[in-house]
Copies of this chain bind each other. A is one copy, B any other.
Amino acid sequence: MDSNTDTGFMNSSDYEQIINDLKADSTFCEYKFSPSEITDYVKMEDVADSTDEHKLVIAYSPTCTLPCTDSYPGPYNFELMLDGSTSHKRSWVYSEMLQKVFIDINKTLLIQFRLSPNAGDLRVRALPVYSIADFLNIPVQRCALHMLNSDPQHQAHSEDNKVCYCANYSWVRHVVQSSHAAAIYDYDSASDRHSVVVPLDSPQPGSETVVVAYHFTCKTSCPQGMQRRPISVVFTLETSQGDVVGRQCLSVKICSCPKRDKEREEADNPLSEGWSMLDTCTKPKKRSSDHKYGSSKKSKQDNNHQIKAVNQLDQKKYDDIKSILMALCEQIGLLAENQNKLMEMIARMEDSQTKMIDALLQMLRQSS
């Protein structure tokens, strides 16, 4: 308690110390996404095989209309990690609290995929989906404005959206893209969803993970595109036959100020209570979103009406009036001030008078 000069809980240097200690531990340098629970998809697949294969393949497609977003490590213990040290804070940040990446548009996000046991001939599909249930069935699409750059004539898709020529137009409709040389850009005409599939190479010597570079080509806020609806990226581990043998999901917000927005969302998060205590102790509460300009509005509006004609005066007249106004304002200020003082004075006098009268009455009673 000695050096805690503030509210005594934990001061900022303590806090930094702790954070630094944590960071020194290499396992904390990476944000791990480990399996949460085994879903029952294996069972479902069994059912599928026993009935109508074609129908069920569609139902199971990772890019179907209602894609599954459940975490599913599967037989390869599929997991993904982010290395916070690979980015300038400017480009992207990860919120542990929200399990969410905040990233600027078109900035590279390196994602590490880990398989154990490792295996060849597997691929990872990245598919963006809206994380709000209401929109989960809607494909995440690029906004018109951003598409204009690569495809001004709107030629990347056929009229009926059955065929996708995005590849000829810088993958214009793919919100999630990868710079991986062998990336395959996929389009599911049934669900109208675009996704990108990257073959998982073997880990580099000495490494346990395979790194894939992704970037996002629209902002979450893009009008006519994602329209501020939060999204996640579903990463599915697939065999060369397209069977899903693993899945991990990552919330993403693509925005101009990742750091600011992360902080805001964390502050708004009810879970933050505990965490925020850490630094709330050392500085005033951030936002309470309870501004009130209230009463001033009206008078201001009236004011504007008054000013109405002022503008059109010729300079001389304008100056005259302005000086009068300034003088008037000054007068009013003084008067208002004086008046407040006077009122106070009167209040005080009344108070003391009351007391005096009381005292007087008491005395009178005593003396009588």
Task: State whether A276 touches B303 (Cβ < 8 A).
Answer: yes
Asked whether any CB of chain B lies closer than 8 Å to the CB of A190, the reply is: no
Q: Which of A60-68, A114-122, A148-156, A238-246 contacts B (4 or more CB under 8 A)?
A: A148-156
Write out the residue numbers on chain B whose beta carbons fall within 8 Å of the beta carbon of A153.
Answer: 153-154
User: Do A353 and B356 touch (CB < 8 A)?
Assistant: yes
B-chain residues with CB within 8 Å of residue A86 when the two chains form the complex: none
Stretch at the interface among A92-100, A128-136, A179-187, A195-203: A92-100
Q: Is A90 an interface residue (CB 8 A)?
A: no
**A98-B311, A271-B307 are contacts. A356–B346 as well, Cβ < 8 Å?**
no
Q: How many copies does the complex hold?
A: 2
Minimum CB–CB distance for A307 against chain B, Å: 5
Q: Does A352 make an interface contact (CB < 8 A)?
A: yes
| Chain B residues near A356 (CB-CB < 8 A) | 353, 356-357, 360
Q: How many residues of A contact B (CB 8 A)?
A: 88
Q: Which of B9, B277, B283 contacts A296 (CB 8 A)?
A: B283
On chain B, the residues within 8 Å of A367 by CB distance are: 363, 367
Interface class of chain A by DSSP = helix
- The CA of A269 and the CA of B276, in the complex, are separated in Å by 39
Contacts of A308 in B (CB 8 A): 28, 96-97
Most buried by B among A19, A153, A281, A353: A281
Closest-CB distance, A137 to chain B (whole angstroms): 25
CA of A144 to CA of B305, assembled, Å: 37
| A97–B332 touching, CB < 8 Å | no
A278 located at the interface, meaning its Cβ lies under 8 Å from any Cβ of chain B in the complex: yes
- Is the CB–CB distance between A350 and B353 below 8 Å? no
Please tell me if the beta carbons of A332 and B333 are within 8 angstroms of each other in the complex: no
Residue in B7, B272, B324 whose CB lies within 8 Å of A339: B7
User: Interface digits, A1-45 against B, CB 8 Å rule (1 contact, 0 not)?
Assistant: 000000111001001100100000000100000000000000000
Q: Does A289 sit at the interface, judged by CB under 8 A?
A: no
How many angstroms from the CA of A275 to the CA of B311 in the assembled complex?
Answer: 13
Contact code string A272-302 (vs B, CB < 8 Å = 1, else 0) = 1011111101110010000000001011111
Query: Could you jot down 27 A-B contacts, CB within 8 Å?
Result: A8-B336, A8-B339, A9-B336, A16-B302, A28-B308, A28-B309, A144-B148, A145-B223, A266-B307, A271-B311, A274-B322, A275-B303, A279-B296, A281-B336, A282-B336, A286-B300, A306-B315, A309-B311, A309-B312, A310-B311, A310-B312, A313-B313, A331-B332, A345-B346, A353-B353, A356-B357, A360-B360
The 3 A-B residue pairs with the shortest CB-CB distance, nearest first, are A277-B329, A274-B325, A96-B308
